[in-house]
Amino acid sequence: YSDRMMSVQITNQNSETTFIACYAPTLNADTHVIETFYQELKTAIEKVPKKNGLILAGDFNARVGKKQIEMEDAIGTHGTGVRNKNGLRLLNLCTQQNLRIVSTFFQQKDKHKTTWQHPGTKKWHQIDHIITRASDARNVLRCRSMRGAQCETDHNLIRATIRLELRKYHHVPKKTPKAFDTKKLKTETIQTLYQSEIEANFTTQESHDIESIWKSFKEATTKAALDTLGARKYQKPDWFDESDTLIDEVLKKKREEHNRFLATPSPNQKKRYVSARKKCQKEVRKIKEKWWIQKTDELQHMMNTNDTYNLFRSIKEIV
Protein backbone atom coordinates (compact mmCIF):
# COMPACT_ATOMS: atom_id res chain seq x y z
CA TYR A 1 0.00 0.00 0.00
CA SER A 2 2.66 2.51 1.05
CA ASP A 3 5.96 2.83 2.90
CA ARG A 4 3.96 2.78 6.16
CA MET A 5 1.72 -0.17 5.40
CA MET A 6 1.94 -3.69 3.99
CA SER A 7 -0.38 -6.69 3.87
CA VAL A 8 -0.26 -10.45 3.41
CA GLN A 9 -3.13 -12.84 2.79
CA ILE A 10 -3.19 -16.29 4.40
CA THR A 11 -5.44 -18.87 2.73
CA ASN A 12 -6.47 -22.08 4.45
CA GLN A 13 -9.02 -24.78 3.66
CA ASN A 14 -11.85 -22.91 5.34
CA SER A 15 -11.29 -19.18 4.93
CA GLU A 16 -8.92 -16.35 4.08
CA THR A 17 -7.33 -13.93 6.53
CA THR A 18 -5.63 -10.65 5.63
CA PHE A 19 -2.88 -9.29 7.89
CA ILE A 20 -2.10 -5.56 7.63
CA ALA A 21 1.08 -4.30 9.31
CA CYS A 22 1.17 -0.56 10.06
CA TYR A 23 3.60 2.10 11.17
CA ALA A 24 1.59 5.26 11.87
CA PRO A 25 3.06 8.80 11.96
CA THR A 26 3.87 10.21 15.39
CA LEU A 27 1.73 12.87 17.05
CA ASN A 28 4.31 15.52 16.09
CA ALA A 29 4.00 14.76 12.37
CA ASP A 30 2.23 17.12 9.98
CA THR A 31 -1.56 16.84 10.18
CA HIS A 32 -1.78 16.16 6.44
CA VAL A 33 0.61 13.19 6.79
CA ILE A 34 -1.45 11.74 9.65
CA GLU A 35 -4.78 12.17 7.86
CA THR A 36 -3.35 10.64 4.68
CA PHE A 37 -2.18 7.58 6.62
CA TYR A 38 -5.60 6.97 8.18
CA GLN A 39 -7.32 7.44 4.81
CA GLU A 40 -4.98 4.87 3.23
CA LEU A 41 -5.60 2.49 6.14
CA LYS A 42 -9.36 2.90 5.75
CA THR A 43 -9.09 2.15 2.03
CA ALA A 44 -7.00 -0.95 2.72
CA ILE A 45 -9.54 -2.23 5.25
CA GLU A 46 -12.48 -1.68 2.91
CA LYS A 47 -10.73 -3.65 0.16
CA VAL A 48 -10.83 -6.80 2.32
CA PRO A 49 -14.07 -8.77 1.73
CA LYS A 50 -16.35 -8.87 4.77
CA LYS A 51 -16.33 -12.68 4.75
CA ASN A 52 -12.55 -12.73 5.18
CA GLY A 53 -10.74 -12.43 8.49
CA LEU A 54 -8.83 -9.21 9.18
CA ILE A 55 -5.98 -8.56 11.60
CA LEU A 56 -4.24 -5.19 11.95
CA ALA A 57 -1.01 -4.99 13.92
CA GLY A 58 1.80 -2.54 14.39
CA ASP A 59 3.04 0.72 15.86
CA PHE A 60 0.02 3.05 15.66
CA ASN A 61 1.64 5.72 17.88
CA ALA A 62 -1.83 6.00 19.41
CA ARG A 63 -2.69 6.08 23.11
CA VAL A 64 -6.31 4.94 23.24
CA GLY A 65 -6.48 5.14 27.04
CA LYS A 66 -9.33 3.66 29.04
CA LYS A 67 -12.94 3.16 28.03
CA GLN A 68 -14.82 6.39 28.79
CA ILE A 69 -18.41 5.70 27.71
CA GLU A 70 -20.36 2.50 27.22
CA MET A 71 -20.88 3.26 23.53
CA GLU A 72 -17.17 2.82 22.83
CA ASP A 73 -17.35 -0.76 21.64
CA ALA A 74 -14.02 -0.58 19.82
CA ILE A 75 -12.07 -0.47 23.09
CA GLY A 76 -12.14 -2.76 26.11
CA THR A 77 -12.21 -1.91 29.80
CA HIS A 78 -8.53 -2.68 30.37
CA GLY A 79 -6.78 0.04 28.38
CA THR A 80 -4.11 2.11 30.07
CA GLY A 81 -2.87 5.70 30.09
CA VAL A 82 -4.46 8.90 28.79
CA ARG A 83 -5.94 9.13 25.30
CA ASN A 84 -4.26 11.44 22.77
CA LYS A 85 -5.31 12.77 19.34
CA ASN A 86 -3.91 9.78 17.47
CA GLY A 87 -5.76 7.51 19.88
CA LEU A 88 -9.00 9.32 19.09
CA ARG A 89 -8.35 8.97 15.35
CA LEU A 90 -7.74 5.23 15.74
CA LEU A 91 -10.90 4.78 17.82
CA ASN A 92 -12.99 6.64 15.25
CA LEU A 93 -11.63 4.42 12.48
CA CYS A 94 -12.31 1.25 14.48
CA THR A 95 -15.86 2.41 15.25
CA GLN A 96 -16.57 3.16 11.58
CA GLN A 97 -15.18 -0.19 10.40
CA ASN A 98 -16.62 -2.23 13.32
CA LEU A 99 -13.20 -3.24 14.64
CA ARG A 100 -11.93 -4.11 18.12
CA ILE A 101 -8.60 -3.15 19.71
CA VAL A 102 -8.13 -6.55 21.35
CA SER A 103 -5.05 -5.50 23.33
CA THR A 104 -7.41 -3.52 25.62
CA PHE A 105 -9.78 -6.40 26.39
CA PHE A 106 -7.55 -8.46 28.70
CA GLN A 107 -7.09 -7.84 32.42
CA GLN A 108 -3.41 -8.07 33.27
CA LYS A 109 -0.57 -6.09 34.80
CA ASP A 110 0.33 -2.78 33.14
CA LYS A 111 3.78 -4.12 32.23
CA HIS A 112 2.01 -6.68 30.05
CA LYS A 113 -0.07 -3.95 28.34
CA THR A 114 2.44 -1.17 27.66
CA THR A 115 4.81 -1.40 24.70
CA TRP A 116 7.00 1.72 24.59
CA GLN A 117 8.92 3.80 27.15
CA HIS A 118 9.09 7.57 26.67
CA PRO A 119 12.80 8.52 26.56
CA GLY A 120 12.20 11.70 28.57
CA THR A 121 9.67 10.81 31.26
CA LYS A 122 10.66 7.10 31.35
CA LYS A 123 6.94 6.32 31.53
CA TRP A 124 5.57 3.31 29.67
CA HIS A 125 2.71 3.72 27.17
CA GLN A 126 0.44 1.46 25.12
CA ILE A 127 0.91 2.63 21.52
CA ASP A 128 1.27 -0.70 19.66
CA HIS A 129 -1.95 -2.62 19.09
CA ILE A 130 -3.52 -5.70 17.55
CA ILE A 131 -6.95 -5.09 15.99
CA THR A 132 -9.55 -7.51 14.57
CA ARG A 133 -13.11 -7.44 13.30
CA ALA A 134 -15.75 -7.36 16.04
CA SER A 135 -17.07 -10.74 14.85
CA ASP A 136 -13.61 -12.31 15.25
CA ALA A 137 -12.71 -10.76 18.62
CA ARG A 138 -14.08 -13.81 20.47
CA ASN A 139 -11.43 -15.94 18.76
CA VAL A 140 -8.59 -13.93 20.34
CA LEU A 141 -7.74 -16.01 23.41
CA ARG A 142 -4.92 -13.86 24.74
CA CYS A 143 -3.00 -10.69 23.90
CA ARG A 144 -0.06 -9.24 25.82
CA SER A 145 3.26 -7.48 25.38
CA MET A 146 6.43 -9.55 25.76
CA ARG A 147 9.03 -7.71 27.83
CA GLY A 148 11.62 -10.46 27.45
CA ALA A 149 11.53 -10.65 23.64
CA GLN A 150 14.74 -9.26 22.15
CA CYS A 151 13.83 -7.52 18.88
CA GLU A 152 16.59 -4.88 18.96
CA THR A 153 14.00 -2.08 19.16
CA ASP A 154 12.74 0.31 21.83
CA HIS A 155 9.27 -1.27 21.54
CA ASN A 156 8.05 -4.42 23.26
CA LEU A 157 6.75 -7.22 21.08
CA ILE A 158 2.99 -7.93 21.19
CA ARG A 159 1.80 -11.52 20.95
CA ALA A 160 -1.77 -12.71 20.45
CA THR A 161 -3.16 -16.23 20.53
CA ILE A 162 -5.93 -16.53 17.95
CA ARG A 163 -8.19 -19.53 17.38
CA LEU A 164 -8.81 -20.56 13.77
CA GLU A 165 -11.70 -22.85 12.91
CA LEU A 166 -10.64 -25.25 10.18
CA ARG A 167 -12.90 -27.57 8.24
CA LYS A 168 -11.91 -31.23 8.24
CA TYR A 169 -11.39 -32.89 4.89
CA HIS A 170 -11.26 -36.63 4.41
CA HIS A 171 -9.05 -37.76 1.58
CA VAL A 172 -7.26 -40.91 0.61
CA PRO A 173 -3.52 -40.41 1.07
CA LYS A 174 -1.40 -40.97 -2.01
CA LYS A 175 0.97 -43.90 -1.86
CA THR A 176 4.27 -42.45 -2.96
CA PRO A 177 7.61 -44.20 -2.52
CA LYS A 178 9.60 -42.90 0.43
CA ALA A 179 12.81 -41.02 -0.17
CA PHE A 180 15.37 -41.89 2.47
CA ASP A 181 17.74 -39.46 4.17
CA THR A 182 20.84 -40.61 2.29
CA LYS A 183 22.91 -37.71 3.65
CA LYS A 184 23.31 -39.74 6.84
CA LEU A 185 25.47 -42.21 4.90
CA LYS A 186 28.28 -39.63 5.02
CA THR A 187 28.82 -40.77 8.60
CA GLU A 188 30.98 -43.88 8.84
CA THR A 189 29.00 -45.25 11.79
CA ILE A 190 25.75 -45.06 9.81
CA GLN A 191 27.43 -46.74 6.82
CA THR A 192 28.51 -49.69 8.95
CA LEU A 193 25.10 -49.96 10.60
CA TYR A 194 23.34 -49.84 7.22
CA GLN A 195 25.52 -52.64 5.81
CA SER A 196 24.91 -54.75 8.90
CA GLU A 197 21.15 -54.29 8.58
CA ILE A 198 21.21 -55.38 4.94
CA GLU A 199 23.24 -58.48 5.76
CA ALA A 200 20.87 -59.35 8.59
CA ASN A 201 17.72 -58.89 6.49
CA PHE A 202 18.87 -60.36 3.18
CA THR A 203 19.13 -64.12 2.98
CA THR A 204 20.58 -65.78 -0.10
CA GLN A 205 18.22 -68.20 -1.74
CA GLU A 206 18.96 -71.36 -3.63
CA SER A 207 16.20 -70.46 -6.06
CA HIS A 208 17.30 -69.21 -9.47
CA ASP A 209 14.13 -67.19 -9.89
CA ILE A 210 15.40 -63.68 -10.64
CA GLU A 211 12.11 -62.06 -9.59
CA SER A 212 12.17 -63.79 -6.19
CA ILE A 213 15.80 -62.82 -5.53
CA TRP A 214 15.14 -59.21 -6.55
CA LYS A 215 12.09 -58.99 -4.28
CA SER A 216 14.06 -60.32 -1.30
CA PHE A 217 16.94 -57.91 -1.94
CA LYS A 218 14.58 -54.96 -2.35
CA GLU A 219 12.78 -55.71 0.93
CA ALA A 220 16.11 -56.07 2.77
CA THR A 221 17.58 -52.78 1.53
CA THR A 222 14.31 -50.89 2.03
CA LYS A 223 13.91 -52.13 5.61
CA ALA A 224 17.56 -51.37 6.39
CA ALA A 225 17.22 -47.84 4.99
CA LEU A 226 14.03 -47.21 6.93
CA ASP A 227 15.56 -48.42 10.21
CA THR A 228 18.92 -46.64 9.91
CA LEU A 229 18.32 -43.60 7.68
CA GLY A 230 14.66 -42.76 8.07
CA ALA A 231 12.60 -40.76 5.61
CA ARG A 232 14.03 -37.57 4.15
CA LYS A 233 12.36 -34.38 5.34
CA TYR A 234 11.58 -32.15 2.41
CA GLN A 235 12.54 -28.66 3.49
CA LYS A 236 14.64 -25.91 2.05
CA PRO A 237 18.12 -25.80 3.63
CA ASP A 238 18.39 -22.84 5.94
CA TRP A 239 21.51 -21.74 7.80
CA PHE A 240 19.45 -20.61 10.79
CA ASP A 241 17.49 -23.84 11.25
CA GLU A 242 20.48 -26.12 10.69
CA SER A 243 22.57 -24.10 13.17
CA ASP A 244 19.84 -23.89 15.80
CA THR A 245 21.90 -25.55 18.57
CA LEU A 246 24.95 -23.33 17.98
CA ILE A 247 22.86 -20.17 17.81
CA ASP A 248 21.02 -21.05 21.01
CA GLU A 249 24.34 -21.31 22.87
CA VAL A 250 25.37 -17.88 21.55
CA LEU A 251 22.03 -16.33 22.52
CA LYS A 252 22.17 -17.73 26.07
CA LYS A 253 24.63 -15.08 27.34
CA LYS A 254 22.66 -12.32 25.64
CA ARG A 255 19.41 -13.50 27.27
CA GLU A 256 21.04 -13.55 30.69
CA GLU A 257 22.30 -9.96 30.34
CA HIS A 258 18.92 -8.83 28.99
CA ASN A 259 17.07 -10.36 31.94
CA ARG A 260 19.50 -8.71 34.38
CA PHE A 261 18.91 -5.36 32.67
CA LEU A 262 15.11 -5.78 32.96
CA ALA A 263 15.41 -6.72 36.64
CA THR A 264 17.83 -3.92 37.59
CA PRO A 265 17.94 -1.23 34.85
CA SER A 266 21.09 0.85 35.28
CA PRO A 267 23.65 2.50 32.95
CA ASN A 268 26.26 -0.11 33.85
CA GLN A 269 23.89 -3.02 33.29
CA LYS A 270 22.72 -1.52 29.99
CA LYS A 271 26.35 -1.23 28.87
CA ARG A 272 26.90 -4.92 29.64
CA TYR A 273 23.75 -5.87 27.73
CA VAL A 274 24.73 -3.79 24.67
CA SER A 275 28.19 -5.41 24.72
CA ALA A 276 26.66 -8.90 24.92
CA ARG A 277 24.28 -8.04 22.07
CA LYS A 278 27.10 -6.88 19.79
CA LYS A 279 29.14 -9.98 20.56
CA CYS A 280 26.10 -12.16 19.85
CA GLN A 281 25.53 -10.52 16.46
CA LYS A 282 29.18 -11.05 15.56
CA GLU A 283 29.08 -14.75 16.50
CA VAL A 284 25.84 -15.35 14.59
CA ARG A 285 27.37 -13.77 11.47
CA LYS A 286 30.32 -16.16 11.80
CA ILE A 287 27.95 -19.14 12.03
CA LYS A 288 26.13 -17.99 8.91
CA GLU A 289 29.37 -17.51 6.95
CA LYS A 290 30.64 -20.93 8.03
CA TRP A 291 27.38 -22.57 6.86
CA TRP A 292 27.65 -20.99 3.41
CA ILE A 293 31.33 -21.95 3.08
CA GLN A 294 30.41 -25.54 3.91
CA LYS A 295 27.64 -25.51 1.28
CA THR A 296 29.93 -24.10 -1.41
CA ASP A 297 32.58 -26.72 -0.58
CA GLU A 298 29.97 -29.46 -1.01
CA LEU A 299 28.90 -28.03 -4.38
CA GLN A 300 32.52 -27.75 -5.50
CA HIS A 301 33.14 -31.40 -4.58
CA MET A 302 30.10 -32.46 -6.63
CA MET A 303 31.43 -30.49 -9.60
CA ASN A 304 34.89 -32.06 -9.28
CA THR A 305 33.41 -35.58 -9.17
CA ASN A 306 30.91 -34.90 -12.00
CA ASP A 307 28.01 -35.65 -9.65
CA THR A 308 25.61 -33.57 -11.74
CA TYR A 309 22.47 -35.12 -10.26
CA ASN A 310 23.19 -34.11 -6.65
CA LEU A 311 24.77 -30.85 -7.81
CA PHE A 312 21.60 -29.75 -9.58
CA ARG A 313 19.40 -30.92 -6.71
CA SER A 314 21.51 -29.11 -4.08
CA ILE A 315 21.56 -25.85 -6.05
CA LYS A 316 17.79 -26.08 -6.53
CA GLU A 317 17.26 -26.61 -2.79
CA ILE A 318 19.37 -23.60 -1.81
CA VAL A 319 17.94 -21.10 -4.28
**Number of domains present in the structure of the chain:** 3
Residue 5 has a pLDDT of 92
Residue 94 lies in a domain: yes
Residues 11 and 157 placed together within one structural domain of the fold: yes
Residues 116 and 264 placed together within one structural domain of the fold: no
Residue 169 lies in a domain: no
Residues 187 and 283 placed together within one structural domain of the fold: no
Residues 49 and 149 placed together within one structural domain of the fold: yes
Cβ-contact 158, 144 below 8 angstroms: yes
Residue 24 lies in a domain: yes
Residues 63 and 157 placed together within one structural domain of the fold: yes
Residue 77 lies in a domain: yes
| Number of other CB atoms surrounding residue 96 within 10 Å | 12
Residue 214 lies in a domain: yes
End-to-end CA, the chain: 28
Residues 9 and 107 placed together within one structural domain of the fold: yes
Q: Is residue 165 scored above 90 in pLDDT?
A: no
Residue 222 has a pLDDT of 85
Residue 167 lies in a domain: no
Residues 205 and 149 placed together within one structural domain of the fold: no
Q: Closest Cα to residue 44, out of 34, 59, 29, 54?
A: 54
Residue 288 lies in a domain: yes
Query: Which of 113, 130, 162 corresponds to the end of one domain?
Result: 162
Residues 158 and 273 placed together within one structural domain of the fold: no
pLDDT (average), residues 41-50 = 92
Name the residue range of residue 194's domain. 182-228
Looking up residue 15, the CATH number of its domain turns out to be 3.60.10.10
The string of pLDDT tens digits covering residues 250-304 is 888 888 888 888 888 888 988 998 899 899 999 999 999 998 898 899 889 988 9
Q: Is residue 89 scored above 70 in pLDDT?
A: yes
DSSP, collapsed to helix, strand or coil, labels residue 156 as coil
DSSP calls for 34-82: HHHHHHHHHHHHHHS-TTSEEEEEEE------S--STT-TTB-TT--S-
Residues 73 and 193 placed together within one structural domain of the fold: no
Residues 28 and 103 placed together within one structural domain of the fold: yes
pTM: 0.58
Residue 132 has a pLDDT of 93
DSSP 135: G
Residue 44 has a pLDDT of 93
Residues 152 and 202 placed together within one structural domain of the fold: no
Residues 246 and 129 placed together within one structural domain of the fold: no
Residue 21 lies in a domain: yes
How many whole angstroms separate alpha carbon 235 and alpha carbon 239? 12
